[in-house]
């Protein structure tokens, strides 16, 4: 591993470390350390330098490790994972899985996590801000039958899985926003992006990309173009490796149930945490002016229901975005 990534690992504890100490640990000069520290902003990291004390990260982090993540996986899931990797730097975790061969076994799974994404993607071409080490960037690839996907609503079921994991780890105030966002106290905490590849009538490789804001540095957060939230001020400081393992377990369980029962199995849970239900909303379809109405939940296929003048209309995933109207 190059000094570019070894150095953040040494500073991950959030304590002060002298330039001499860091240089000795990495076998380089103090000038080389200073040169790398000046490039930390490229990774979305903020560094504090204090004369006589050294350097420390503004936001400490727990480095991701495959062996530690595996400790938090159920035995049944561990047996199904064909490939699990942690990368220091990627374009996006989903793109890494796209370039890999799909899982071989029908129930096989590939997983990629990263400390930093240079080209993380959100919905409708938006950039997913992905500073080094402070959040969770995870993608999972699995094979699903065409008929399962045609039933609709997979992204909603995945959002339910993410909310479940966070709640079980002690996070309160979570809500769901159509079609696949998780909110914390009214602001976006996590997002989901699905990528499909395959042939109609056969099996598809489904790549599920998930980003969760844990301790977003202020500088990186300033680049986000919508209200956002993270867990920095939550009393529970989640361990990233534990979160990754528990999330994978819940995600695979939800996918298995969805494959057999469709969105119906999660309809009641989605409705319970739907932050838009019964509220005035504006919809942007990208094809016409915004549509105003009252959100009335989702249909059995995951389409958003909007009431206008007493008439219910449906809007499907991938066609519109929704935002709460003031």
Q: Catalytic site residues?
A: 123, 188, 323
Cite the annotated binding site for biotin by residue number.
117, 121-123, 188
Q: What angle do CA 119, 324, 238 make, to 5 degrees?
A: 55
Reading the block at residue 196, the tokens are 């499909």
Cβ neighbours for 174, distance < 8 A, ≥ 6 positions apart: 163, 166, 167, 182, 183, 184, 189, 273
Closest CA to 139 of 70, 205, 188: 205
CA dist 259 and 151 (Å) reads 9
> In angstroms, how far is CA 98 from the centroid of its own chain?
17
Cβ neighbours for 62, distance < 8 A, ≥ 6 positions apart: 12, 239, 240, 241
CA dist 204 and 207 (Å) reads 10
Q: Please report the DSSP string for 262-274 in residue order.
A: GGGGGHHHHHHHB
Give the pairing of strands 181-184 and 187-198: antiparallel
> With left for phi above 0 and alpha for psi between -120 and 50, is residue 311 left, alpha or beta?
beta
> In angstroms, how far is CA 152 from the centroid of its own chain?
21
């Amino acid at each position: 591993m190059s000094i570019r990534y070894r150095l953040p690992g040494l500073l991950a504890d959030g304590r002060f470390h002298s330039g001499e100490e860091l240089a000795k640990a990495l076998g380089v000069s103090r000038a080389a350390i200073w040169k790398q520290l000046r490039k930390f902003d490229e990774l979305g990291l903020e560094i504090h330098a204090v004369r006589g004390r050294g350097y420390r990260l503004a936001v400490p982090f727990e480095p991701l490790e495959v062996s530690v993540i595996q400790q938090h996986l159920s035995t049944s899931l561990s047996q199904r994972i064909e490939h699990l990797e942690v990368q220091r730097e990627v374009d996006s975790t989903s793109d890494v899985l796209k370039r890999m061969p799909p899982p071989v076994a029908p129930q096989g799974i590939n997983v990629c996590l990263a400390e930093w994404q240079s080209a993380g993607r959100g919905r409708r071409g938006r950039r997913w801000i992905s500073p080094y080490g402070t959040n969770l960037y995870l993608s999972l690839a699995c094979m699903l039958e065409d008929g399962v996907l045609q039933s609709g609503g997979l992204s909603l079921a995945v959002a339910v899985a993410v909310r479940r994991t966070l709640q079980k780890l002690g996070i309160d105030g979570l809500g769901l926003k159509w079609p696949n966002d998780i909110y914390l106290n009214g602001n976006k905490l996590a997002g989901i992006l699905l990528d499909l590849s395959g042939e109609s009538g056969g099996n598809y490789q489904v790549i599920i990309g998930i980003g969760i804001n844990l301790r977003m540095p202020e500088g990186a957060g300033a680049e986000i173009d919508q209200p956002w939230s993270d867990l920095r001020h939550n009393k529970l400081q989640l361990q990233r490796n534990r979160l990754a393992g528990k999330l994978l377990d819940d995600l695979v369980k939800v996918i298995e149930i969805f494959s057999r029962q469709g969105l119906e199995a999660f309809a009641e849970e989605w409705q319970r945490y739907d932050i838009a239900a019964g509220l005035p909303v504006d919809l942007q379809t990208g094809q016409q002016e915004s549509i105003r109405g009252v959100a009335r939940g989702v249909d059995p296929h995951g389409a958003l229901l909007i009431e206008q003048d007493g008439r219910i209309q449906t809007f499907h995933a991938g066609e519109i975005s929704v935002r709460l109207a003031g």
